[in-house]
C-alpha cells in the first residue's frame, strides 16, 4: 500500500513543460522592452521573413511568426516569392534586406525548392541580421562560446529549461539527432558553461548502435529526429526530463484538417515515467518562436 502511494505520488508530480506558459513570459518581457522603446520615441524591432512557394507547413510557421511579432509590438514584413523563383532573384532580395537599415532580422523559411541551395541562401544573409542563427559565422561563435545568435529552437529549449528551473548541472544529456538546426547546437549549449548548461552530452543518430541503451541512461533526453513516437517508455530512465522537438504531420481523417501533429516521443506512455516532459503541440514549437523574437530584439539592440 505504501509503495503504491509513493508511485502514485511520483506520477502525479510529473511536470508538463508547457511552452505556452514559458513563451508568454518571454513575450511579456519583450513587450515591455518594445513599449519602453516607443516611449523614448524609437522604432520597434523589425523582422523580415521570406517565404518561397506555398508549402502548407511553411505557411503555418511563417503566419505564426508574423502573428507573434505583432503581439509583441515588433514590425514584421513578409515577402512572398513564387516556387519557381530563381536562386539569383532570391539572393538579390536578401541583399536588399541586408542593405535596409530599418530591417533588424532576416529569416528565409526552409525548406526551399530543390533548385535553390539552402547553404548559399543562409550564407547570403548578413550575419548581423541572421536571427535564425544558421550563418557559419554565428555557428562558429556559438562553438567558441562567444555572444551570437543562437539557432531559435535550441535557444527556445534553453529558455524553457530556465523558465521551469530544470536542474542541468552535472546531468547526462542525450540528444537524439545531429542536424545543424537542432541536434548539434543543442549539444553545444547543454555542454557549455552557461545557465542551464554544464551537462555531459551524448549525441545519437541513425548509425548509433543500441540507441535504446543511451536513451535509457539520460537524465535529460532531447528527441530531434523527426520520427513520430520513436521514443517509448522502455527507452526512458524513470525521472528523466524529456524534450520533444519532433513536429510531424500525420494523416488523420478524424480531424478537420486531415492530419494531426505528433512528436518524436510517445507522450502518453513516456509521461508516466518522466519527471518532466514537453507536449506536442504546445511545447518546443512555441519556444522556437520565442527564441526567434529574442534574437530579433538582440539584433535591434546591436543596430541601435
pLDDT tens digits, 99-139: 999 999 999 999 999 999 999 999 999 999 999 999 999 99
pLDDT more than 70, % of the chain: 96
Residue 303, pLDDT score? 83
Does residue 211 contact residue 176 with C-beta atoms inside 8 Å? yes
* First vs last C-alpha separation in the chain: 64
Look-up: residue for cell 523558465? 163
Look at phi and psi of residue 288 and say left if phi exceeds 0, alpha if psi is from -120 to 50, else beta: alpha
- Taking the CA atoms of residue 145, residue 149, residue 150 and residue 155 in that order, the dihedral angle to the nearest 10 degrees is 120
Residue 2 has what pLDDT? 45
Q: What's phi and psi for 277, nearest 5 deg?
A: -155, 145
pLDDT in tens, 7-16: 444 445 799 9
Helix (H) or strand (E) holding 24: helix 19-39
Give the residue numbers annotated as catalytic, written as ranges: 65, 109, 132
DSSP reduced 3-state for 139: helix
Q: What does the alpha-carbon distance between residue 266 and residue 274 come to, in Å, rounded to a whole number?
A: 12
Could you report the per-residue pLDDT of 193-205, keeping only the tens digit for each? 999 999 999 999 9
Res 295: pLDDT:
98
CATH 3.40.50.720 fits 150-287, yes or no: yes
Listed by start position, the domains of the chain span: 42-149, 150-287
Q: What's the pLDDT score for residue 218?
A: 98
Q: What pLDDT is recorded for position 56? A: 80
CATH topology identical between 42-149 and 150-287: yes
At residue 77, does pLDDT exceed 80? yes
Position 259 scores a pLDDT of: 86
What's the whole-number mean pLDDT along residues 80-93?
98
pLDDT digits (tens, 9 = 90+) for 50-71: 999 988 888 888 999 999 999 9
Per CATH, domain 42-149 is 3.40.50.10860: yes
Q: Give the residue among 98, 181, 101, 168 at the shortest CA–CA distance from 133.
A: 181
Share of the chain above pLDDT 90, in %: 87
pTM > 0.85? yes
What does the pLDDT read at residue 11? 47
Mean pLDDT rounded to a whole number for the chain: 94
* pLDDT band with cut points at 50, 70 and 90 for residue 94: very high
Strand 200-204 versus strand 15-16 pairing type: unpaired
For 249-281, the pLDDT digits (tens) are: 888 888 888 888 899 999 999 999 999 999 999
Cell of 55: 508549402
Check: CB of residue 47 under 8 Å from CB of residue 75.
Answer: yes
Give 148-203 as a 3 state SS string. CCCCHHHHHHHHHHHHCCCCCCCCEEEEECCCCCCHHHHHHHHHCCCCCCCCEEEE
Amino acid at each position: 500500500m505504501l509503495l503504491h502511494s509513493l508511485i502514485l505520488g511520483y506520477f502525479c508530480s510529473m511536470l508538463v513543460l508547457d511552452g505556452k506558459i514559458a513563451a508568454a513570459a518571454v513575450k511579456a518581457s519583450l513587450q515591455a522592452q518594445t513599449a519602453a522603446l516607443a516611449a523614448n520615441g524609437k522604432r520597434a524591432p523589425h523582422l523580415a521573413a521570406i517565404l518561397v512557394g506555398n508549402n502548407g507547413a511553411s505557411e503555418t510557421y511563417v503566419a505564426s511568426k508574423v502573428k507573434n511579432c505583432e503581439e509583441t509590438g515588433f514590425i514584421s514584413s513578409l515577402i512572398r516569392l513564387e516556387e519557381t523563383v530563381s536562386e539569383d532573384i532570391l539572393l538579390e532580395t536578401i541583399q536588399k534586406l541586408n542593405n535596409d537599415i530599418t530591417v533588424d532580422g532576416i529569416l528565409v523559411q526552409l525548406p526551399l525548392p530543390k533548385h535553390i541551395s539552402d547553404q548559399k541562401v543562409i550564407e547570403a544573409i548578413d550575419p548581423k541580421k541572421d536571427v535564425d542563427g544558421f550563418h557559419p559565422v554565428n555557428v562558429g561563435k556559438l562553438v567558441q562560446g562567444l555572444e551570437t545568435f543562437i539557432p531559435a529552437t535550441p535557444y527556445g529549449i534553453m529558455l524553457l529549461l530556465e523558465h521551469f528551473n530544470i536542474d542541468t548541472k552535472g546531468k547526462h544529456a542525450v540528444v537524439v539527432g545531429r542536424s545543424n538546426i537542432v541536434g548539434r547546437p543543442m549539444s553545444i549549449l547543454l555542454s557549455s558553461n552557461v545557465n542551464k548548461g554544464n551537462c555531459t552530452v551524448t549525441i545519437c543518430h541513425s548509425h548509433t548502435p543500441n540507441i535504446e541503451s543511451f536513451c535509457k541512461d539520460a537524465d535529460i533526453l532531447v528527441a530531434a529526429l523527426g520520427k513520430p513516437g520513436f521514443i517509448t517508455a522502455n527507452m526512458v530512465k524513470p525521472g528523466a526530463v524529456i524534450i520533444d522537438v519532433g513536429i510531424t504531420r500525420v494523416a488523420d481523417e478524424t480531424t478537420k484538417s486531415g492530419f494531426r501533429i505528433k512528436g518524436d516521443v510517445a507522450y502518453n506512455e513516456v509521461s508516466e515515467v518522466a519527471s518532466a516532459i514537453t507536449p506536442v503541440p504546445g511545447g518546443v514549437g512555441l519556444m522556437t518562436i520565442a527564441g526567434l523574437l529574442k534574437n530579433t530584439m538582440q539584433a535591434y539592440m546591436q543596430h541601435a
